[in-house]
Amino acid sequence: MFNIPKKDAITFVLFAIVVLTMPIWLTPFGASYPALLQKFAIYALLAVGYNLLFGLTGYLSFGHAAFLGVGSYAAVWSFKLLSMNPVLALSFAILFSGIFALAIGYISLRRSGIYFSILTLAFAQMSYKLAYSVLSPITHGETGLQLTLQDPRAIDLMFIERGSSLPTSNLFGISMSGYSGFYFTAIILLIGFFIAQKITSSPFGMMLKGIKSNENRMNYTGFNTKPYMLTVFVISGIYAGVAGGLLSITDPLAGAERMQWTASGELVLMTILGGVGTLIGPVIGAWLIKYFENIFSAWNESVLHGFFAFLPDGFEDIVVTISSKFVGEGWHLTLGLMFVLVVVFLPGGIMEGARRIGTMFKNNKDKKPKQTSDSEKQSSDSEKGEG
Amino acid sequence: MAKASENVVLHVADVHKTFGGLHALSDVDLSIEEAKTHAIIGPNGAGKSTLLNIIVGLLPPTRGAVVLDGEVLTGKKPHEINQMGVARVFQTPEIFIDLSVIDNVMVSAFAKRDGAFKLRFSKSLESEKEINQRAVKILTEFGLDDKMEEHAGSLSRGHKRRLELAMCLIQQPRILLLDEPTAGMSRHDTNTTIDLLKDIKATGMTIVIIEHDMHVVFSLADKVSVLAGGRIIAEGTPDEMRASTIVKKAYLGEAS
Ligand SMILES: Nc1ncnc2c1ncn2[C@@H]1O[C@H](COP(=O)(O)OP(=O)(O)O)[C@@H](O)[C@H]1O
Ligand SMILES: [Mg+2]
């Protein structure tokens, strides 16, 4: 159950080290505060789960924001009605996002390609709109769902007295805000990453890749592809639900804006930017986008003046004026340009860039003997398009 | 016409197919016998591929039915028909171009062992030794052992065909359908393919082969059906067909 191929085990250990030391190595980037660290872990988990669907099967879902939202609401309701325990809240997030994904997946997967995407988009937008209107007794509409002093919290109040201030989520006394909250989300991320590794390296993962490559061939080979698709859709939806639950655990306020389609769109960007179909790529994509959104967007002209202080005065002003268009509120511009560059020059995302650099170094090391076989591979690769 | 005898594996019973106003197949009745190679020849657009599409469940017939070992295939889904033992090589190779050559064959082997749907993610692919060994064995027999780790998409057209054939045979199907397996091949590759198909035939496989190349047909077939304009216009042994004036006409008609 817990054994994975050696290569995957090494990846996992390295990944765990990188994640758990984030508070240290993110310090020089000005990104080492708990609220942002938690977001890094949560959105990485979301992207890893999204990639199980999009990366392995090629099915592009615009509905994952809905599962994120369902997970958030389920967790807050678990706080309000039962207990501030995060594990209980996550269980409800898993349950409800799973049921939701099963229903939406069952219908959307009757179609493939663009029609599948549109169906998921329609369901997500419907959930978003309903959260503001018909469902507002559950979602509390525009105010968002929050804790109140009068919440029943049936389980908690059997053991402790009702306090005079709002409680925070805690795991047997360990608070889920601050750094301990980050470590909780980080551990959930690692569990999610491990499961994604297992799926990717299993026969099930191979079937999913087969569906992406040639779904018709899968059918003529004897596979009923629909239940495979539905399974991975639900798993992927549960990842989003857990991510939503974690957002509520670290900050118990759930709003419907999480369910808007732009949130799903951002998820697609993360995955493509980092590298579709790779395990690490979506994580990098998620971190980059969250970094831009939270840090880069806060840069202003005075930060830039500090940055370019070494330049001659007049020149410095020009450089600052130009570059200021790309930071602060202009961060979307930078991100957009980066996205365009990646898609045009590195269709495999940042991970492909890393691979290319890797091969470059390898080729430099053992120059001559390799060259012929490499050019052979190239020419046969270029044939790929046919058929 | 000889009706279903005991050793008929596949019976195409009075199949019609129309596309809008076009009669692609009319009154097609075929009996494919056990361990025999049955060739279907005929000019372009005669309806040969359409016939195979109906057998594998890609298209529903307008009328008539297809029966395998007494069980009606018509109305079943492609994956169900495959699970009952029908494997097909397409006119343009249908393989998993993004997977490695060995993975292509392993996927096929999983379908045979585990059925249409079975979730397996507690074990890794690496630990599926038995499936892996069978895949290596068949690729070696097919002369693809030096390409096992390559992307299937980077193979030459001939090798893609060969891979698709390996994917079909690892499933040990009841019947093998081949749609122009030598189209676009050099004389040399065609001869290698003929040898390969002879070996497969020698294992007792029941084969339906659609073929343009008369050399291939006469080397392999036990029985030949001639399809023209969606109808079977002649049927018999290769020698009978060679002598038939009807067949000559159909082919001369195409050539002009
Ligand atoms: N899916 C389809 N829709 C409409 N017409 C088709 C379809 N498939 C085949 N046809 C037509 O049916 C006829 C027979 O085609 P096909 O079976 O591919 O011929 P063959 O394989 O003998 O060359 C052709 O006229 C072709 O255009
Ligand atoms: Mg054809």
Within 8 A of B103 by CB-CB distance, chain A residues are 206, 209
Residue nearest atom 27 in ligand 1 by C-alpha distance: B45
Domain identity same for A225 and A257: yes
Report the range of poorest mean pLDDT among A251-265, B28-42, B98-112: A251-265
Which of B53, B153, B47, B48 shows the shortest CA–CA distance to B100? B153
Last residue of a domain, one of A294, A312, A336: A294
CA-nearest residue to A207 within chain B is B107
CA-nearest residue to A4 within chain B is B124
Query: Can you read off the two tokens belonging to residue A138?
Result: 């559950």
Q: How many Å apart are CA A85 and CA A75, to the nearest integer?
A: 10
Within 8 A of A204 by CB-CB distance, chain B residues are 119-121
Backbone angles phi, psi at B88, to 5 degrees: -135, 140
Q: How confident is the model at residue B256 (pLDDT cuts 50, 70, 90)?
A: very low
For chain B, domain boundaries = 1-85+175-256, 96-172
Domain identity same for A317 and A234: no
Q: What mean pLDDT is predicted for residues B167-172?
A: 97
Evaluate whether residue A79 is within a structural domain.
yes
Backbone CA torsion sign across A278, A281, A283, A289: negative
Q: In what order do the strands lie in the sheet with B37-41?
A: B86-89, B175-179, B206-210, B37-41, B223-228, B231-236
- Range of A255's domain? 6-294
CA A37 to chain centre: 14
B107 to A218: CB separation less than 8 angstroms, yes or no? yes
Quick one: pLDDT at residue A115?
97
Q: B231: which strand partners?
A: B228
* Ion ligand 2: protein residues whose beta carbon lies under 5 Å: B 49
Report percent pLDDT > 90 for chain B: 80
Last residue of a domain, one of A265, A294, A323: A294
- For residue A136, the domain's CATH number is 1.10.3470
Selecting from A5, A199, A204 the residue whose C-beta is nearest the C-beta of B126 gives A5
Within 8 A of B94 by CB-CB distance, chain A residues are 214, 216-217, 220
Q: How many domains does chain A have?
A: 2
Domain identity same for A34 and A118: yes
Q: Does B243 touch chain A (CB under 8 A)?
A: no
Domain identity same for A200 and A272: yes
Last residue of a domain, one of A294, A327, A362: A294
Domain identity same for A289 and A313: no
Test mutation, B127, B132, B154, B159, chain A, max A CBs within 10 A: B154
Say yes or no: domain B1-85+175-256 is CATH 3.30.360.10: no
- Greater confidence (B212 vs A236) lies with A236
Which ipTM score applies to this complex?
A: 0.92
Best residue among B50, B51, B227 to mutate for probing ligand 1, ranked by most atoms within 8 Å of CB: B50
pLDDT digits (tens, 9 = 90+) for B52-101: 999 999 999 999 999 999 999 999 999 999 999 999 999 999 999 999 99
pLDDT digits (tens, 9 = 90+) for B120-149: 888 888 889 999 999 999 999 999 999 999
Domain identity same for A358 and A259: no
Within 8 A of A5 by CB-CB distance, chain B residues are 124, 126
Evaluate whether residue A1 is within a structural domain.
no
Domain identity same for A114 and A143: yes
Q: Does B123 touch chain A (CB under 8 A)?
A: yes
The DSSP code sequence of chain B is: -----TTEEEEEEEEEEEETTEEEEEEEEEEEETT-EEEEE--TTSSHHHHHHHHTTSS--SEEEEEETTEE-TTS-HHHHHHTTEEEE-SS----TTSBHHHHHHHHHHHHHH-S-----SS-GGG-HHHHHHHHHHHHHTT-GGGTTSBGGGS-HHHHHHHHHHHHHTT--SEEEEESTTTT--HHHHHHHHHHHHHHHHTT-EEEEE-S-HHHHHHH-SEEEEEETTEEEEEE-HHHHHH-HHHHHHHHHHH-
CA of B50 to the centre of ligand 2 (A): 7
CA-nearest residue to A224 within chain B is B116
Evaluate whether residue A260 is within a structural domain.
yes
Q: How many Å apart are CA B154 and CA B96, to the nearest integer?
A: 11
> Is it the case that residue B163 has pLDDT exceeding 70?
yes
Domain identity same for A72 and A171: yes
